[in-house]
Structure 1
Amino acid sequence: MLLVFPPAQVRADDALVLNMSPQALADALLQIGRQAQVEIAFSPGQVREKQAVALQGELTVEQALDDLLAPWGLAARQQGARRYTVVTATVPKGLSVLEPVRVQGQRIGERVYSRGDMDQRPAGNRDVSSLLADHPAVRQDDAAQSGVNRGSLALQDISFYGASPFQNQFQIDGISATNQIDPASRNLNLQVGNVPAYAQAYNLDTHLLESVTVLDSSIPVDYGRFTGGVVDARVRNPQGDNSVRFDFSYNSSGLTAQKIAPEQKKNFEAGKPGFSPVWTKRFTSAMLDVGWTQDTAALIHLSRRQSTIDRSMRVRHDTVFTDLKTRSIDRVDNGFVKIHTRWSADTDSALTLKYADRREDLVDSGSLADQIQWQHQQQSYGLGFDLNHDLRWGQARVQLGYDQMNSYRHSDGTDYMVHMMYQPTGRLDYTYITGGFGQESTEQRNLTLKSRLEFKPVQTGAIEHATYAGVELAHTQGEFVRQKDAYGGNTRHFSNGQPDKLQTLNYYQAGNVGVSYTAASVYLSDRLSWQRLALTGGLRVDRDNYFGNTNVAPRTLLEWDVLGTGETRLSGGWSRYYGMDILGTAMRERKSQLHTLLITGGNRVDRPSHTAYTLDGLRTPYDDEWALRVQQQLSSTVVAELGYVRRYGRQQVSIEGTSKTGYLYTNKGHAKTDAFTLSVKSIAPWAVGPSRWTAHLDITHQRSKRNTKLADGYEGAAEEMDDDIYYNGDLIRRGDRPVGDYNLPWRVSAGLTGRWASYGLQLSNRIHWNGARKDVHYLGLNRSDGREKYESGRVGSYWTWDMRLDWEPTMFKGLGVGLDVLNVLDKQAPLVISTPNSASSQNLYRTGRELWLRASYRY
């Protein structure tokens, strides 16, 4: 984009009198160019989605450009008396500076976590789920913050506005990185056919990201195949400054306070799956930024997050079982390479290589086990290419992507046997278990092609049109793979000389079953602006060749600039979002055909095990959304927004039937969620002496009703909402019972960050308040009439305070040290409470005070 102005009558070094409000960076540069009558050249990619700070007072052109560009790592290079070109700013070697405090303007329904935002947050495990935990639209599982498994590096599921946590669209640089095979699989135990997986196919280290964009409502037609929200992680861009950076973080169970219910201490101290008693976390990363040529730069980023966990494995010696202490590893490796090339003033491209690998060691510490251990692995790798070209009439973008996203379960041996030991009298003495099921995996391959054309605004009478259109093709192949034949059963051993007897034996055949399909999408959007009104109308059409569903998703948004100044804005709209097809549902029946029952009751039967799963007529789940917002700029540095979102989840997928009669997938699930959000945030820092401060506040309320459990994914039954049940002793409709999972009605999150640039100090504080909620417990059937009984248990409110301190001492250039303190006041409130009729306490408590030590060096 080239802004050319008439010959100047004001010298570039003359002071300009400026009174500019925060606005898009491109618009701010345009305003400076016009007022100073200078020529400023920059590319759209340099300023895209960037917001300029307010400028007031007398400034030279150079000072004004520096204030606008420096927060974004950009600078203005003078190329003549009246010409400037925007370039990437370079940092002298040996000089280390804190990231600038900045707040980015965002479109409706969008929140961007910039690199600066992430550097201000106490990081914990440095994963995307932790980053989004306090997002106003997000709710997590009730036990997400409990202390029983704090040593784990597993990702937590997130739900947007009560939608399925397995129907979010996770992307890396705009390319889907979502597991579609079995994202709800969470059973960590060793079971045949069980391969735990996660909706986020890439376990990302947020330290290697430039930004994370979250779209939760009024989502444009660019995005599809979700019913929850969209999370787009952007890999760091190379700057070409020939720099290298090293980072290290440390945490351990000795630096973390935990409260464990007495009845869970045995499992906790043994380190059973789902528990981690003693751990040490060491996170290391290295980043190399290289400028190959004037137009090409590359960034190589490697990281390892490792947690070493103490567990107890049961070992049998003759008839005696002892505990063997083992050192288990939970490790996440990330490797990303990004190469950016500017081919001309109009064309640039980015090539990204992606790799993420998590491996978790587990053991069986149960009283019956004999040296049983296994490993879960989530490995993904891929390649992405992004090409942008500016045309005379707009901008074109083409993206190509290939991703291989696999989940494995490795175990020792291929025969999982229960051994029953009998005394000479014929009485059962004891029982133990040996072996494993070998290696099983779920594997997903994605090929993606996306193209988008954005046209320059055109005028038709009094109406301005901003139009864009696009297409997307995605070919997905999913497989379940068993590497070797495996067996499982039980054997009777007699000490009176009788031969061993196989009582039961199952045969699990090696092989693979899979399904593949191609989805095609087209979309069109037009924003019509007239005076202070703007109406955006969009339409997206998706079609797949497996289920044969054609889904038409219209989306609308009406905006009103009330005063014409941009300070008061009203907006509202209706949108429809269609979800993605979970491939695991299509593979269930084929997977069961790999199973044969060889022996039962001591008799050979050789009976194939075939369970029928019917998918005929299954439709794609979708959400209808109404969203209303009021945005008000309270001052030159503070803006507030009040929003209301209503979501209707329709034709959600559920299952019914039994293994004998067969299962039928249906669309009987439905949900409704109402959400209110009040957000107040800084749009520019304010000064207090030598310091600069920013703050934010989010107050949210959500209320949901649904007839399925979100945690079940597509393997749960849909309840009949009109059935009568007992709740707290009263007979009510099932639909009037509160939901039991992902339920947190009220939450408040606030943050305050201060920066003392001259001292190299930055202090961030975050306050979280979780309101009281109700757990819902099933108590069985009522004796008199056979109706189900439920009882609520109140989980009280609690609040926590997290703090982060960074210091880059001026006497040691390039060195940085930091301290994160999570839950500063050590509030260990209950998160989950036991069923009222339970004989033992299964309460889960919030992790207490947790310390993280950090260090970095940049050269």
Structure 2
Amino acid sequence: MQMRYLSACLMLLLNAPIHANEVKQQATDPQCNDKNNKQCTDKEIERITVKGQYIGIEVPEVIGRAYLDRNFIEATPKGNGDINELIALLPGVQLSEDHYSIDNLAEISAPEISISGAKPWQTGFMIDGMNYNNRLDPASASRIGASENEVSGGVQSMNINSQIVESITVYDHNIPADFGDFSGGVVDAETISPFSTDTRVSFGIRGNRSDWGEYHIIDNDEPDDTAEGKDDLEPPIYEKTNIDFSIQKKLNEQHALLMSVSYLKSDISDISLSAQKVESRENINALLKYSYRDGWVDSLDLSVMYAPYTSDSYLKDVLNSDYQVEGGSFGFTANLAEETRLGHFSSKFNMSQSDNNRTGPAHFYTWLQAKGKEWGQLADQSVDSIPVSEYGGYGNLDNTQTSFNWRNTLTLERKKWGNTEHAIRVGAELNHQNYERTRQQNYYKYDSPIQYSSTSAQLNCSGYTLDCIEQSFYVDLDTLAEQLGGSIDFNNPEHLIAYSNNVATTAQYFNSRLVTPSEQIDVSLNKAALYATDVITWKQFDFHLGVRYDYDDFFKNHNIAPRFSMGYDVFNDGNTLLTAGLNRYYDAGLLGYKIKEQQKFAYREYRPIQSGYLQAWLPSSYTGNFRYIYDNVKSPYDDEVALGLRHATESFGNFAVKYVHRDKKDQLSRNEETNLKNDGYQYITIYNNGTGESERYSLSWDAKFGDHSIWANASYSQNSESNSDYTATPDNTPIETLVYYEGELMSLSELDTLKANFGRPVTANFGWNTNWTDTFSTGLTATYSGSYTTAIKSSSDQQIGIGSECTTCEAVEIFVPKYEAHTFDSRIMFALSSRWEYQVSQSQSVEFRLDVSNLFNARSHAITEGNSGIEPGRMFWLGVSYNYE
């Protein structure tokens, strides 16, 4: 009996080398299963307790992966609770700068992460085998609600709360051939198993409020106590509430159920046009899971996930700009596993549907600040910008993404051939994606205001009431003249002041507008893949020889991705492992490219004015009828070289050093000129001229000293990306994608390329988890990020000229977003979590939790040098939960 329990405990440790678990077993008569049987108290009860504390996050093997188990998830300090907060602690992973801004206090969606220098959307996100990447327009996540042509729910189609997650595996190099459609990394999360306990009910609530935190008010980069005029900057008022409920029930040895719901709500108040406004966000994670074991199949898991997201927001300092975003996803997974005569067979089928819809004001107007349009005076605009008053929003837009995926894998029984041992795994994958995009009506962006003045004729709007305003007076001019003595003398200062004060509205109109046409897009993409891996063991070597083949019906390319990696046990004692790898990863995002081919870009209209009378809207010579064309385009890919050394010591923990280099090849770029065809469209042709590379050196360590588990890692990385350079002008670039950066016009995609050249080169993370007693534990983390320079959006827009609309028209000037280069200083941030459990009875307990971000109230340097603003300081989350089991 003892050997049986000892064997079980050893298997537990061997199968979960980085788990922290506590296992208790009883060896008694079967009648002792009855807790009320007093005879059990007279019998000798054998107990074997195995305790383990999480001591590391990188798995010591050839595959480059890190594993975060449930104990790590619970012990690590958290904010909103999204799993990306945990993934960001790994080497080679960076969080977006937005995560540290004051605006993020209101946000409850998942923060963006970058793995191995890739763009956030180039990482593959999976939960229970279901991909939940947003393929609609993930690159526009930072422009959510601020672009007429995109609505993005972010890089992910749903936000995954750690409450429903059992483990997270993150692959960053030497990634197996089982995975495709990525060029950064892979995040593979598994939900909690219904079999993890017999019966468990849990209910909890956590909260975070603005008055539980501290703030740094920065005025021209001066500290709080010396800043002048800091009273003009006020921290936002907000409240976040997170409610969790879960119930697990093991019905018998074969059937088990799990239901978990996590609800997160955020309300935040801020100042817009010198008045207080409130934004609201809501996110739900609901999971219903049924598991079946050891029956007609060995394993079957059926899951339904529902994760809606809503946001009620507004455009800052824009009058009547309230809008709503509804997003999130619904998914179903069916995962089956069976031991067959050939080996282990697994089949994973899933479907999901995600929405990203915006409802908002129909059109956007950029008026000049003048009588009748003065509200812009209440806005926070830079001194050197043209004073404007903005009104409206970006209209309605509906997006729906539907995906089906079926993956089958067979792992053959290990075979010995001569002096080698082989573990062969083969598989096939089918994927279907469909996208629907609807804009019910044309959207107008009025961006060329003209203040009308003429001595010969007054402005007549000709019935246009929304985009033109005539001059009006509080009293008619004849009455004013009588009040001034019979006539108005404009050379008399008193008369001039009286005339100015009598103007109720100043005449102005728009002579040009950007038209984003209504559209109905319905596109589909089909993909198929085959993959195989042979793990060969020979003497002190492990060779992973893999290959993946992909085909899609858009690019119609036959992509072959070799995945070769090896490990060498240097001293043949299992303590020192030298690893190397040569791998190729093909990019995802094909559905987004297919959408661009059918997308209708905006075009311009103008209207002349004759003798003060405004004329009808006419097509402009700058029509902007652009289309993208992808002909004979290869699939972009990354070639990876990886080297690593892992060493385990008996008393001072485990060390790992790795080097990962990736060359980005056949990256998509556009030609400098556009081709005008007979259909009237200017075609932007896409080529494979883009290149890039990333390079990373990482060092990690983990150790266990008594009840203390400590881990640390540091990384140095350099990323660069280069597409064919071209000069962006209204002639060769859709105007809605034009931006102004450092004195030059460029497209938004070109700006993204420049931004990709920058990244924090040095990052480091540290963690210390301890169970001080059976009921009290703490977790401490520290993160360091080095300084770097990047482009950030200015608070004002740039006015540019695009020439005349016609031979007899005036030159037109429009407003485009303005970006500036700024340097973010280095920062070091600490976070703390503490948990204390009070045992109410043998089956009931209450847990109290405290999470503190920015423990030492340091500056995040989200406000760059020379600018003013507010940075979050120390923030508290308080929570309490009731548990029954």
**Which position in structure 2 is the counterpart of 1:681?**
702
Q: 1:821 aligned to 2:852?
A: yes
In 1, the alpha carbon distance for the partners of 2:275 and 2:528 equals 54
Provide the alpha-carbon RMSD of the alignment: 4.1
Out of 276, 281, 287, which is 1:325 matched to? 276
Alpha-carbon distance change, 431 to 768 in structure 1, aligned in 2, over 3 angstroms: closer
**Which position in structure 2 is the counterpart of 1:387?**
336
SS in 2 for 1:216: strand
**Which position in structure 2 is the counterpart of 1:282?**
241
Q: 1:672 aligned to 2:697?
A: no
CA contact (8 A) 1:581 1:620 kept: no
1:743, CA displacement in angstroms? Answer: 1.4
Q: 1:634 aligned to 2:649?
A: yes
**Which position in structure 2 is the counterpart of 1:403?**
352
Q: 1:169 aligned to 2:124?
A: yes
SS in 2 for 1:222: coil
Aligned partner letter, 2:532? L
Q: 1:663 aligned to 2:619?
A: no
In 1, the alpha carbon distance for the partners of 2:158 and 2:716 equals 31
CA contact (8 A) 1:151 1:276 kept: no
* Mapping for residues 226-375 of structure 1, pairs under 5 Å: 226-239=182-195, 241-262=198-219, 277-312=236-271, 324-344=275-295, 347-366=298-317, 369-375=318-324
Aligned partner letter, 1:50? N
1:587, CA displacement in angstroms? Answer: 2.2
1:378, CA displacement in angstroms? Answer: 2.2
1:159, CA displacement in angstroms? Answer: 1.6
CA contact (8 A) 1:559 1:572 kept: yes
Alpha-carbon distance change, 158 to 653 in structure 1, aligned in 2, over 3 angstroms: farther
**Which position in structure 2 is the counterpart of 1:71?**
21
After superposing the two structures, state which structure 1 stretch, 538-547 or 670-679, moved more: 670-679
CA contact (8 A) 1:830 1:843 kept: no
Aligned partner letter, 2:357? Y
In 1, the alpha carbon distance for the partners of 2:603 and 2:25 equals 65
Out of 464, 488, 491, which is 2:467 matched to? 491
**Which position in structure 2 is the counterpart of 1:202?**
158
Out of 583, 605, 626, which is 2:618 matched to? 605
Q: 1:477 aligned to 2:434?
A: yes
Aligned partner letter, 2:872? T
Alpha-carbon distance change, 48 to 176 in structure 1, aligned in 2, over 3 angstroms: farther
Deviations 1:525-561 (A, max 9, x none): 0011112111110010000011111111001111111
- The unaligned stretches of length 5 or more in structure 1 are 1-11, 30-46, 54-67, 81-96, 315-322, 710-715, 718-725, 727-733, 781-789, 835-840
Aligned partner letter, 2:522? G
In 2, the alpha carbon distance for the partners of 1:658 and 1:807 equals 65
**Which position in structure 2 is the counterpart of 1:783?**
none
Aligned partner letter, 2:159? N
Deviations 1:599-623 (A, max 9, x none): 6763333688631212112221111
Q: 1:849 aligned to 2:874?
A: yes
Q: For this pair of structures, how many residues does the alignment match?
A: 731
In 1, the alpha carbon distance for the partners of 2:792 and 2:313 equals 30
Q: 1:51 aligned to 2:16?
A: yes
In 2, the alpha carbon distance for the partners of 1:266 and 1:345 equals 74
SS in 2 for 1:603: coil
1:483, CA displacement in angstroms? Answer: 4.0
Q: 1:101 aligned to 2:53?
A: yes
Out of 629, 636, 641, which is 1:621 matched to? 636
1:364, CA displacement in angstroms? Answer: 3.2
Alpha-carbon distance change, 853 to 661 in structure 1, aligned in 2, over 3 angstroms: same
CA contact (8 A) 1:148 1:258 kept: no
SS in 2 for 1:194: coil
CA contact (8 A) 1:270 1:365 kept: no
SS in 1 for 2:207: strand
**Which position in structure 2 is the counterpart of 1:654?**
669
Aligned partner letter, 1:603? A
1:438, CA displacement in angstroms? Answer: 4.1
Q: 1:804 aligned to 2:804?
A: no
In 2, the alpha carbon distance for the partners of 1:149 and 1:229 equals 25
In 2, the alpha carbon distance for the partners of 1:595 and 1:586 equals 21
Aligned partner letter, 1:339? Y
1:822, CA displacement in angstroms? Answer: 1.5
Q: 1:225 aligned to 2:246?
A: no
Aligned partner letter, 2:102? G
Q: 1:768 aligned to 2:783?
A: yes
CA contact (8 A) 2:158 2:307 kept: yes
Out of 562, 571, 577, which is 2:579 matched to? 571
Alpha-carbon distance change, 484 to 842 in structure 1, aligned in 2, over 3 angstroms: same
After superposing the two structures, state which structure 1 stretch, 98-107 or 192-201, moved more: 98-107
In 2, the alpha carbon distance for the partners of 1:858 and 1:222 equals 38
1:312, CA displacement in angstroms? Answer: 4.1
1:177, CA displacement in angstroms? Answer: 1.0
1:573, CA displacement in angstroms? Answer: 1.3
CA contact (8 A) 1:151 1:278 kept: no
Aligned partner letter, 1:238? P
Deviations 1:435-463 (A, max 9, x none): 54542022211110100000110011111
Alpha-carbon distance change, 235 to 541 in structure 1, aligned in 2, over 3 angstroms: same
1:405, CA displacement in angstroms? Answer: 1.7
Alpha-carbon distance change, 269 to 282 in structure 1, aligned in 2, over 3 angstroms: farther
Aligned partner letter, 1:289? Q
CA contact (8 A) 2:98 2:104 kept: no
**Which position in structure 2 is the counterpart of 1:40?**
none
Max radius of gyration: which structure?
2
In 2, the alpha carbon distance for the partners of 1:204 and 1:534 equals 35
Deviations 1:781-804 (A, max 9, x none): xxxxxxxxx999765433222111
In 2, the alpha carbon distance for the partners of 1:739 and 1:359 equals 29
CA contact (8 A) 2:516 2:601 kept: no
Q: 1:541 aligned to 2:552?
A: no
SS in 1 for 2:319: coil
TM-score (norm 2): 0.75
1:380, CA displacement in angstroms? Answer: 0.8
Alpha-carbon distance change, 464 to 404 in structure 1, aligned in 2, over 3 angstroms: same
Deviations 1:362-397 (A, max 9, x none): 22342xx43220122322111111000011331100
**Which position in structure 2 is the counterpart of 1:178?**
133
CA contact (8 A) 1:159 1:742 kept: no
In 1, the alpha carbon distance for the partners of 2:786 and 2:388 equals 47
1:170, CA displacement in angstroms? Answer: 0.6
Alpha-carbon distance change, 795 to 448 in structure 1, aligned in 2, over 3 angstroms: closer
CA contact (8 A) 1:138 1:158 kept: yes
CA contact (8 A) 2:288 2:303 kept: yes
Aligned partner letter, 2:714? I
1:210, CA displacement in angstroms? Answer: 0.8
CA contact (8 A) 2:516 2:600 kept: no
Aligned partner letter, 1:750? F
In 1, the alpha carbon distance for the partners of 2:228 and 2:443 equals 32
Alpha-carbon distance change, 405 to 270 in structure 1, aligned in 2, over 3 angstroms: farther
SS in 2 for 1:569: strand
CA contact (8 A) 2:303 2:334 kept: yes
CA contact (8 A) 2:514 2:602 kept: no
Aligned partner letter, 2:258? L
